Structure 1
Amino acid sequence: MTENTTILRTADATPADFSHVTTWVFDLDNTLYPRRTDLFRQIDERMTSFVAELLNVPADEAKVVQKRFYREYGTTLRGLMTVHDIDPDAFLRYVHNIDYSWLSPDPELGAEIAALPGRKFIFTNGDRGHAERTARQLGIFEHFEDVFDIVAAGLVPKPAAETYDKFMALHRIDTAHAAMFEDLARNLEVPKTLGMRTVLIVPENFETAIGDAWEHEGREGEHIDFVTDNLTHFLRSIR
C-alpha cells in the first residue's frame, strides 16, 4: 500500500462509519474464515482434477486452464460452461465434496455477527450446500437470514452487475444502508457504485503471498472503503 492511499485499515474504522448500515452482506470463502485455514485449497484441487479429467490433460495443464477461466469468467465453472458446456450441478457436487473439519468453530466471530443490527446475508459464488456446511462448521449459520448462491444468481458469478441486481431485488435491500465484506477487490466495485460501504478482507498481516497475485489487485482502488486482515476484530471495532 502506498502512503497516500485513501484506504483505511481496521484501526481507522469507527461505529460512526457504519451507523447507517442495516444490512450486512458477507462473501463466504476466505472472508468468513481466514485464508490461513486453507479450506479453499481443497476446492481448488478438486477443480483442477475435474478439468484434468474433462479435458484428459495432466494436472499442471488443467491448472492453467482452470485459473484462466477463473480470471476471465469470474469462476472456473462459468468458463467451463461457456467453453465446454458442462453440467454445472455435476461440477458443484464434485468440487464441494471436501473435508470441512479443517475449519474450527469460531464463537467470537459468531458473537460479533449476531450483535450487528439488522439483516445479515451470505453472498457467494459457491453453492448453497457449501455455504451452509461451512457456516455450520464455523457455528455462525444461525445468524444469517439467507444464502444467495451461484444457483440463485443464474450461474452468473460476481463481479457481474446483474448478479448484484438479482440479489438486491430478491431481498429488497436498500444499498444506501448496506455494507459488503469480500476478499476480492474486484467484487466490491459494483457494491460501491450502488452506494454500499465496502470492506476488503485480506490475508493476515496484509500479506499477498497467499493465492494468485492478480487476486490482490485493486486493493488501493477508490471502491474500497476499509481493509482488514481480521474480520472479528473489525466487526468489534465498529460496534
Structure 2
Amino acid sequence: MPLSHVDCWIFDLDNTLYPRTCRLFDQIDKLITAYVVDVTGYDWADARKLQKEFFAEYGTTLSGLMATRNVDPHHYLQKVHDIDYSPVAPNPALMDAIRALPGRKIIFTNADRGHAQNVLKRLGGEDVFEDIFGIIEAEFAPKPHNNSYEKFIANHGVAPTSAAFFEDMEVNLKVPHSLGMRTVHVVPGADFDGSELEPFELERKDDEEHIHHVTDDLGTFLNPFARRA
C-alpha cells in the first residue's frame, strides 16, 4: 500500500508518538483504576477488571463510566492526566521527520488536548502539528467508534483517500481502512514487556486487511516520505 499520494498524516498520541517502553501510559492506567475504585467502591482487582471490560466494550474507560455511572468527563480527564511527563524523552529526529512530511499533520487522540500538549512539549513537537483532535472535540465519542472519525473528518475537512492513519491499537485502524485511508500499526519493540496488559491491548494482526503497514520505529518508517529542504 503506497503512501506517496498522502497529503494528510494523522497520528494517535499515546504509545504512538512516544514508545511504550517509557511507560508514561502506565501512570494513566493506574490512575484510571483508582478512579474506578472511587466511583464504584470496588476493590482494586475488581475495579481493574471493570476498567478493562469498559475499555474493550466502549473504546475508553471514560465512555463506560459515562454510560453506566454518569461521571463528569472533565473531572475524570483532570484526574487521570495528573502525571509526571518526564519519562517522555525529547525526540528531535522523529519530530523533524514528521515536520518534513508533505501536507498536513494532525493528532487524533482519545485523550484530551492538554495531555497531548504536555507530551508534545516533552517530544519537542509543539510546532509540528496543525491541530489536536481530542476526546472533547469528539464530543466524548472515542475511537474505534464511527462517530469519532466522522467528527474528525468533518471538523478538519480531511479527504480519507489521501490520508494516512498511525495508531498503536489495531482495532482503531478498522474504520480508517474502511474509509480509504492508508493505515500504519505502530507496535512496541521486541524488548517490551507487556505482561501487565490485556491481550487485546497488544493485539497485532499483520495479515488483516485493515493493517497496511507495521512498524516498531516510527521515525525510520517516516524518513523515506519526508521532504527535506
Is the TM value for this pair above 0.5? yes
Q: 2:183 aligns with which of 192, 198, 210?
A: 198
Q: 2:198 aligns with which of 184, 189, 212?
A: 212
8 A contact 2:62–2:76 mirrored in 1: yes
1:43-192 aligned within 5 A? 43-192=28-177
8 A contact 2:101–2:225 mirrored in 1: no
8 A contact 1:186–1:218 mirrored in 2: no
- Greater relative contact order, per chain length (Cα 8 Å cut-off, separation 6+): 1
Pairwise CA distance, 1:207: 6.2
SS of residue matched to 1:100: coil
Aligned to 1:231: 218
SS of residue matched to 2:214: strand
Normalising by the residue count of structure 1, what TM-score does the alignment of the two structures yield? 0.90
Pairwise CA distance, 1:215: 2.0
Pairwise CA distance, 1:141: 2.3
The residue type equivalent to 1:106 in the other structure is N
Pairwise CA distance, 1:39: 0.2
Return the structure number with greater helix share.
1
Report percent identity of matched pairs.
47
Pairwise CA distance, 1:77: 0.1
8 A contact 1:208–1:216 mirrored in 2: no
Aligned to 1:25: 10
The residue type equivalent to 1:47 in the other structure is I
Normalising by the residue count of structure 2, what TM-score does the alignment of the two structures yield? 0.94
Pairwise CA distance, 1:212: 1.8
Pairwise CA distance, 1:106: 0.5
Distance 1:92 1:65, change over 3 A: same
Task: State the alpha-carbon separation in 2 of the partners of residues 21 and 206 from structure 1.
Answer: 31
The residue type equivalent to 1:87 in the other structure is D
Aligned to 2:209: 222
Task: State the alpha-carbon separation in 2 of the partners of residues 206 and 212 from structure 1.
Answer: 17
Task: State the alpha-carbon separation in 1 of the partners of residues 38 and 159 from structure 2.
Answer: 44
Unaligned stretches of 5+ in structure 2? Answer: none
Task: State the alpha-carbon separation in 1 of the partners of residues 204 and 17 from structure 2.
Answer: 20
SS of residue matched to 1:187: helix
Compute the RMSD of aligned alpha carbons: 1.5
Pairwise CA distance, 1:206: 8.4
Aligned length: 224
The residue type equivalent to 1:230 in the other structure is D
SS of residue matched to 2:190: helix
SS of residue matched to 2:74: helix
Pairwise CA distance, 1:18: 1.4
8 A contact 2:169–2:201 mirrored in 1: yes
